[in-house]
Structure 1
């Protein structure tokens, strides 16, 4: 039976952020994830988790200046020290919140920039992040993201992400398989899940879902999620599946798809 985590950045926008934990618990979620916790003290978020019996599944390390359009700094030349500080801060929050997976975003690359240079920086930074995270028993995950939603994002394909993990060869570096992004860029979701789930050096560390193409509930759009959930179960995935979608109307009213799995 799949286990789901409500993404509190996208879900429950009708509530203030700290009130979304209780709302998710009332709807039957046992875990949550979100993009960033850094506007709040870690202890304040931990209290919301504990009070509502929730597990923290995942969040992102600081991504640079989000308000100015930055979407990660892991591949950006000249930002190495800032990246190390972002990993340190992410691990500090994880120590309090209890999650064992931390996502680091690759960042953007312009058409006139040197991709090989960005890739070399990316690998060096990921190697550092994995080494530091290993001390805390935490897995670093990297996520291919489609360039329709985030134009210029450096990492786009599942096979490229797996290759990067293979090159670094750290047991605690894995790929975050977002089915929404993968469907837009590549398709052939089931075969990619089968290919990558059991890879010896990397594999899939976290899964996220949303309907395609509008990124609403998973029962809206072109994908057959009940089939994919059954497949994911059969492949032995034991982690949480993050519900990173934008509710079409009210969040709770759109959770009919979830009821068979509660």
Structure 2
């Protein structure tokens, strides 16, 4: 049965960040993810996780100067030391939060840079980062992101991400398959799930309604059907709910209640 994790960067924003953990637990979530925890001490976040009885299943490594438009460092020529520092910092947080996986953002292709040079840097950095994460049992994830939401982002398509994972060859480097981004760029979601999940290279799945990135019961994607496909394919990972609620987060969880009720009847 599908297991869902609330994304606390997008959901429960009616609460202060550290109060979102208990709000998610009160709505029945067992796990959470978020983007960037670094403005808060890891010990403080860990305390909120424990108090709410939640598992942390994913967060992002530092992306560089986000306010200045940076969206990751892994593919940026000339930023190797900054990238390595970011990975070491992320691993420190992962240890404190007992988080098994980290999303490593590729970055926006710099103006004038050849994609081949970015790809070479990206491959080298991912290999190094995977080697640092392996002793602690952490998986690193790379995520294709659509260029409508993130213009110029290096990694956009599932085949591109899976080829990079194969090329690096690290057992703890996997793909973060966000079905919102995949639908915008490529579509054909069921076929892609059936192609890629059996490879063992998908380490996490995320969802949101398309095109507005709201609850998954809105827009053009039939998520109940895809949840059934995930169950059929024996996907046992988490599904991150990385969407922006239309109104209050709790009020918009009818889709989750409906799926849980239907799955419960099917199991019975």
Match of 1:62 in 2: 62
Aligned 1:23-172 pairs, distance under 5 A: 23-110=23-110, 112-172=112-172
Match of 1:11 in 2: 11
CA distance in 2, matches of 1:261, 1:233: 13
Q: 1:112 Cα deviation (Å)? A: 3.0
Match of 2:211 in 1: 213
- The reply to whether residue 175 of structure 1 matches residue 175 of structure 2 is yes
SS of 2:102's equivalent?
Answer: strand
- The reply to whether residue 258 of structure 1 matches residue 256 of structure 2 is yes
SS of 1:193's equivalent?
Answer: helix
CA distance in 1, matches of 2:72, 2:155: 11
1:72-127, CA deviations, whole angstroms, 9 ceiling, x for partnerless residues?
01000000111011110000000010111000000001463210000000000000
Match of 2:264 in 1: none
SS of 1:242's equivalent?
Answer: strand
Match of 2:233 in 1: 235
Match of 1:189 in 2: 189
- 1:204 aligned residue (190, 202, 206): 202
Match of 2:266 in 1: none
SS of 1:258's equivalent?
Answer: helix
CA distance in 2, matches of 1:211, 1:245: 7
Are 2:74 and 2:83, in contact at CA under 8 Å, matched by a contact in 1? yes
Q: RMSD over aligned Cα, in angstroms?
A: 0.9
1:208-244, CA deviations, whole angstroms, 9 ceiling, x for partnerless residues?
0000000000000000000100111111111110000
SS of 1:176's equivalent?
Answer: strand
CA distance in 2, matches of 1:233, 1:192: 15
Would you identify which runs of 4 or more consecutive aligned residues in structure 1 move more than 4 Å?
Answer: none
CA distance in 1, matches of 2:234, 2:69: 37
Q: 1:198 Cα deviation (Å)? A: 1.5
- The reply to whether residue 224 of structure 1 matches residue 222 of structure 2 is yes
Are 2:76 and 2:110, in contact at CA under 8 Å, matched by a contact in 1? no
SS of 2:199's equivalent?
Answer: coil
Are 2:63 and 2:72, in contact at CA under 8 Å, matched by a contact in 1? yes
Q: TM-score, normalised by structure 1?
A: 0.98
Aligned length: 260
Are 2:144 and 2:161, in contact at CA under 8 Å, matched by a contact in 1? yes
Match of 2:242 in 1: 244
CA distance in 2, matches of 1:70, 1:233: 36
CA distance in 2, matches of 1:66, 1:135: 29
